[in-house]
Chains A and B, each alone.
Chain A
Amino acid sequence: MELLALLALPLLGALLQAFFGAHRRAPLLNVVVSLATLVAAGLLAARVIREGDITAWHEQFFIDPFNVFLVALTAFVSFTTALFSRPYMLVEVDHGRLKPGQLRLYHSMYQLFIAAMLIALTSNNMGLLWVAMEAATLSTVLLVTLYRTPASLEAGWKYFILCGVGIAQALFGTILLYFAAEKVLGGEGVNALLWTQLNAVKGELEPAVLNLAFVFLLVGYGTKVGLAPLHNWLPDAHAEGPTPISAVLSGLLLNVAIYAVVRCKVLVEGSLHSALPGRMLMGFGLLSVVLAALFLWRQKDIKRMFAYSSIEHMGIVTFAFGMGGAVANFAALLHMTVHSLTKSAIFFAVGHAAQKSGTQQMDGIRGLVTISPTIGWGLMLGSLAILGLPPFGVFASEFLVLTTAMRQQPWATPILLAALGIAFAAIFRRVQPMVFGETTAKRLPHAPALLPVFAHLGLVLLLGLFIPPYLADWYRAAAQLIAGP
């Protein structure tokens, strides 16, 4: 019931917005629908706490500790992003960058995007997971090109083609997975792609086929995670689309993609009985962290810079999942959560800062504290949080990743530390003059929504100081699930 509401509400929202999306109240409707989705997610989470794992509709959908917190996180961030997007998009219309018709497209696609991600997260069927991932990409392509500028069209095209090719590889991987599963589960093959069933028989799946399948699945979904060297689309798509979309792409879609990779990894590892999948994840993860840290130095556009920071953090998460084991998985899950909250908070602050300064170029943004202390401090605190300064949650998860790496993969620790240090210097030297110093910014016609920024940062701070027991239980259960027996 809660699951039905969770999936149906954003779809209904998309339909409503397709008709009324250009209306004056449409942004408000967007907020209301997202709030209703959040309530449904909350009820669902409460039920999972009460009753344990759920499956629904002939096992096509399921909720276990691994996806339940991602569902809650997705619903929460999509709600706060809707709050942020209301004044932001109104300002964009006032500035003449958007027409009301485009606002309709934006609102409708926003809800569709959320629905696709929720379906991907709750689907038990690996084929359906693929379909929902592709749907999530398609619903955001036209949002990246919303402004119709040459740069945004180029970004949209790259996003479409690269992710399309990537996701086609993942489809091939899924076909191979089905091929191996059909041998074991047999019969009509209707259930042969259900994750729960695959997980039960993963030891019997043909290793040679699964090995090949994993390469394709990792490259396919890895493209969507933004793992180097398949990350090319990510900074462009983040920088050229409207800022609320950057926030949900970075904060949510990357998480969903990594979720898909990890689900596949669990199956393949169970079949291969070797560390190969983990090593591949570690390799891709480490490469992403290092490349992103180096690219961070060259960025001039504020949204591009934080997009590279997302690649870096996805690299850390992938590396942690690659190490495996309960502690590393716990750290990776925690890092997914805090990165998602912090990065979307940063994008909220960045969106308003760019609107006030009239540019996304970092040289043009100066002295945010003098004109608007809340935006300035929001950006500053957000940046410090994402850079892993204590007492924020990112520090806790990065600390866990590093200490585990020290024990399990000592060779990787200095590389990780150096990359984190480089990233710190690269981002801090840019953010500092943007926040302090002389100002050129102006007032905006619609008061910016800063509540989401501080709500997110507050949560990240809380997660750094104290993790609520039920959340810690989820993380532990999920980490156990991923690590296997």
Chain B
Amino acid sequence: MNALPFDLQLLNGLAALFLLLAFAMLAQRRVVTLVNLLAWQGFLLFAATLLLAWRTHEGHMYFSALLTLALKVIFLPWLLHRLIRRLGVYWDSEPLINPAGTMLLGLLIVIFAFGLAQPIAALASTATRNAIGIAVAAVLLAFLTMITRRKAMSQVVGFLSMENGLFFGAMSATYGMPMIVELGVALDVLVAMLVLGVFFFQIREQFDSLDLAHMERLKEDD
């Protein structure tokens, strides 16, 4: 059996850590730690993109790595930490499914994700095709994180983690998207977070809390 070159081993290592972080986020209830985990996930994305850029000598990947560093490792976590301090939301309340159940569900999701990614990975010609399954799993785990949380802040972190997973997938399947698209997506994420900042303060002003349990009035059967 051929040993993989060192940089590819490193990439696979990064991918494995990426998945591990997705699981850690699924279990984490302390919002500050959740944001830190998100920043680390962003950092892994940055490191993987940089490594691939170095390996493939694709100029636009260096740029995309820098974009990731600026937006996902530095700016967004900073913004979220600031919001957490200003709003005083430190803990999420009890998740909707108990932690053990969530973890089991997470495991099933990973198996499902690898099955889903199988045909794509078989067709991919990139050196990183093994990571596609991991990216799909990370996206679905982030989705699970989102739907099992009650606090608006944790849902948003889940949303951003999903975004990270998608970029990881794009990177491992096709060495990233065209530049104009990546820029556009980054801009959208940035604007989304700014809108959200405004939005959080509006919610807090109205409800005195970011617990979404208050927001269940608009139901059909009233």
Contact = CB atoms under 8 A, between A and B. Distances in A.
Contacts of B116: 212
B71 to A, nearest CB: 15
A195 interface: no
Contacts of A12: none
Interface stretch (B27-35, B37-45, B155-163): B155-163
A383 interface: no
A125 B195 contact: no
Contacts, number: 133
Interface in B162-211: 162-163, 166, 169-170, 173-174, 177-178, 180-181, 184-185, 187-188, 191-192, 195-196, 198-199, 202-203, 205-207
Counting contact residues on chain A (CB < 8 A from B), the size range is 35 or more
Interface stretch (A140-148, A267-275, A429-437): A140-148
B174 A165 contact: no
A179 interface: yes
The A interface, classified by DSSP as helix, strand, loop or mixed, is helix
B217 A151 contact: yes
11 contacts: A60-B180, A127-B181, A131-B187, A154-B218, A157-B199, A164-B192, A175-B173, A179-B120, A190-B178, A209-B119, A209-B123
Contacts of A60: 180
Contact of A208 (B123, B163, B180): B123
A193 B199 contact: no
Nearest to B171: A175
Contact of B195 (A142, A189, A236): A142
B22 interface: no
Contact of B198 (A134, A142, A183): A142
Given A128-B180, A155-B218, 4 more contacts: A60-B180, A145-B199, A212-B119, A212-B120
List the 5 closest pairs (A to B, CB-CB), nearest first.
A127-B181, A131-B184, A154-B215, A134-B188, A175-B170
B166 A171 contact: yes
Counting contact residues on chain B (CB < 8 A from A), the size range is 35 or more
Interface in A151-174: 151, 153-158, 160-161, 164-165, 168, 171-172, 174
* Most chain A beta carbons < 10 A, residue from B162, B169, B178, B198: B178
A165 B212 CA distance: 17
A255 to B, nearest CB: 21
A377 B132 CA distance: 58
A135 interface: yes
Interface string B93-124: 00000000000000000000000100110011
A298 B219 CA distance: 11
A161 B155 contact: yes
A175 B146 contact: no
Nearest to B184: A131
A192 interface: yes
Contacts of A179: 120, 123-124, 173-174
B139 interface: yes
Nearest to A142: B195
A450 interface: no
A250 B119 CA distance: 38
Nearest to B185: A131
Interface string B128-160: 000000000001000100100000100100010
A206 B122 CA distance: 12
A209 B187 CA distance: 28
A135 B191 contact: yes
A135 B199 contact: no
A131 B181 contact: yes
Given A151-B218, A182-B174, A208 B199 contact: no
Contact of A141 (B124, B155, B162, B195): B195
A25 B187 CA distance: 31
A295 interface: yes
A301 to B, nearest CB: 10
Given A156-B199, A157-B212, A168-B166, A189 B217 contact: no
A212 B132 CA distance: 14
A181 B181 CA distance: 15
B159 A189 contact: no
Contacts of B125: 183
A156 B143 CA distance: 20
Given A135-B191, A157-B152, A190-B178, A168 B162 contact: yes
Nearest to A300: B222
Contact of A125 (B181, B185, B199): B181
Contacts of A160: 192, 195-196, 199
B89 to A, nearest CB: 15
Contacts of A131: 181, 184-185, 187-188
